[in-house]
Structures are given as C-alpha cells and as structure tokens.
Amino acid sequence: MDPLQIRESKPTDAEAVLQVEREAFGRDDEASLVSALLSDPGARPYVSLLAIEAGQPVGHALFTNARLLGAQRPVHCSLLAPLAVSPNVQRRGIGSRLIAAGLGKLREFGVELVFVFGSSDYYRRAGFMPARGFGLQAPFPIPEAHADSWMALALDDRPLGSVTGTVRCAASLSHPEFWRE
Ligand SMILES: CC(C)(COP(=O)(O)OP(=O)(O)OC[C@H]1O[C@@H](n2cnc3c(N)ncnc32)[C@H](O)[C@@H]1OP(=O)(O)O)[C@@H](O)C(=O)NCCC(=O)NCCS
C-alpha cells in the first residue's frame, strides 16, 4: 500500500490541518487563514486535502471558490491557498501530489480555471502559467517584482485567454496583505 494517503479533510481533522500549516510556515498566519476560509461561506465549494503518512498529517492543500468578474461567460474558478508540507517530509513530491489530487477533484466538479499566487518556478511544474499575459487579473494589484507569481491553469480544453476578467476570491482572502509577495 502507498504509505502516503491523500484524502479530503473532515471536520474532525481540523487540528491536524492547522498543525501542518503551522509546521510548514513556522508561524500561525496561514493556520488562521485556513480556519477563516473553512468557515467562510464565500469560500465554498472548497476542496481541502490532507496528506497522511504513518498516521501523521504531513501535508494540506486548500482550494477555495473564486469568481471571474467581467468575464465573457460564467466560469467556475478556484484558488489554491495555502499549500503546506511539513518540513521533515518536503522535497519528496507530497506538495506535487496534493496539487495533482486537488486538480483532479476540481476537474470532476467542473472547475475551469484554477489560480495560485506563489513561486512561479514551483507551480509551473504543475502546469500553472503566469496569468497576467492572459488577461486574468488578481484580486489585488500584484507588485511588479512578483508579477509572475500570479498564475493560472485551465482544467478543460479551452486554453488560457479564452476568457478574461478579474478574480474575486473569498472574503477571508480579500485583504491586500495576502497579495504583496
Ligand atoms: C512549497 C511546498 C508546499 C513544496 O512541497 P514539497 O512537498 O516539498 O514539494 P515537492 O516535493 O512536490 O517539490 C519539491 C521541489 O520543489 C522545489 N520547491 C519547493 N519550494 C519551492 C519554492 N518556494 N520555489 C521554487 N521551488 C520550490 C524544491 O526545490 C524541489 O525541487 P527538486 O525536486 O528539484 O529538489 C513546501 O516546501 C512548503 O510547505 N513550504 C512552506 C510553505 C510554503 O511556502 N507554501 C507555498 C505557499 S504558495
């Protein structure tokens, strides 16, 4: 059996999820953000995935609902934030597997566009591309130095750029401080 299990988190996993977030980021901010998002009606539907190894929580990925304002047609969107892997098991592919599993679920749910604000080198590996050149704007202005960190991925056969607009995310993520770096 694969020693790593990835499954949707349950309400009883709340403490495990927050533990992973705190370990990965070495602070409380992202754990607090996750708590807020999981009870934020505007974040639903969401996909919250927990990675478990040897009975221990080792990774978590949260994809929350987003909308595309000004789009030419209705588009189902989702935003990945945050992604966390415990320091002692990083660089073993757990983050990549959490992303792949999340994208698989979102595809099943009919999500067309997925966004992330993070390391372009890292997320490029999962298929994300800098979104700006495709007319897909972030919820807040992104500093020029981090412009490529605002990324998008198309889950269906319509390529990036087939629809344009500005992303509106859940209220818990709608604070300028989340969008600076
Ligand atoms: C970023 C993170 C989720 C990656 O998880 P992971 O399980 O270690 O990732 P994977 O094993 O799938 O991929 C590891 C590869 O990505 C690279 N990588 C990891 N973080 C990276 C980053 N921020 N920028 C660029 N590359 C990165 C590693 O160097 C490694 O490369 P290698 O395979 O050539 O050695 C994890 O390092 C983490 O939780 N970090 C702290 C929290 C964080 O920054 N989250 C991202 C918020 S957007």
Q: What is the pLDDT of residues 8-67, one digit of tens each?
A: 999 999 999 999 999 999 999 999 999 999 999 999 999 999 999 999 999 999 999 999
Instruction: Answer yes or no: is pLDDT of 138 > 90.
Output: yes
Instruction: Identify the pLDDT of residue 1.
Output: 77
Instruction: Identify the pLDDT of residue 7.
Output: 98
Instruction: Answer yes or no: is pLDDT of 83 > 90.
Output: yes
Length of the chain: 181
The rounded percent of the chain whose pLDDT value lies above 90 is: 97
Whether the CB of 20 sits within 6 Å of ligand 1: no
Instruction: Identify the pLDDT of residue 181.
Output: 80
Instruction: Identify the pLDDT of residue 137.
Output: 97
Average pLDDT of the residues in 87-91: 97
Instruction: Identify the pLDDT of residue 124.
Output: 98
Nearest to 174 by CA among 135, 123, 130, 140: 140
Instruction: Answer yes or no: is pLDDT of 84 > 80.
Output: yes
How many Å lie between the centroid of ligand 1 and the Cα of residue 83?
Answer: 9
How many Å lie between the centroid of ligand 1 and the Cα of residue 64?
Answer: 20
Largest CA distance in the chain: 47
Instruction: Identify the pLDDT of residue 60.
Output: 98
Q: What is the mean pLDDT of the chain?
A: 97
Are the C-beta atoms of residues 62 and 47 closer than 8 Å to each other? yes
Instruction: Identify the pLDDT of residue 178.
Output: 93
Whether the CB of 122 sits within 6 Å of ligand 1: yes
> Given ligand 1 and candidates 90, 94, 117, 173, which is best to mutate, with the most ligand atoms within 8 Å of its CB?
90
How many Å lie between the centroid of ligand 1 and the Cα of residue 155?
Answer: 22
Domains of the chain: 4-179 (3.40.630.30)
SS3 content of the chain, % helix, strand, coil (to 5): 35, 30, 35
Instruction: Identify the pLDDT of residue 44.
Output: 98
Q: What is the pLDDT of residues 92-108, one digit of tens each?
A: 999 999 999 999 999 99
DSSP-derived pairing of the beta strands 165-169 and 136-137 = parallel
Separation in Å, CA 45 to CA 1, 92, 102, 159? 31, 29, 13, 23
**Which secondary-structure segment (H or E) carries 82?**
strand 77-85
| Residue that has been written with the tokens 């800098």 in this structure | 130
Instruction: Answer yes or no: is pLDDT of 2 > 90.
Output: no
CA dihedral 83, 28, 46, 63 (to 10 degrees): -20
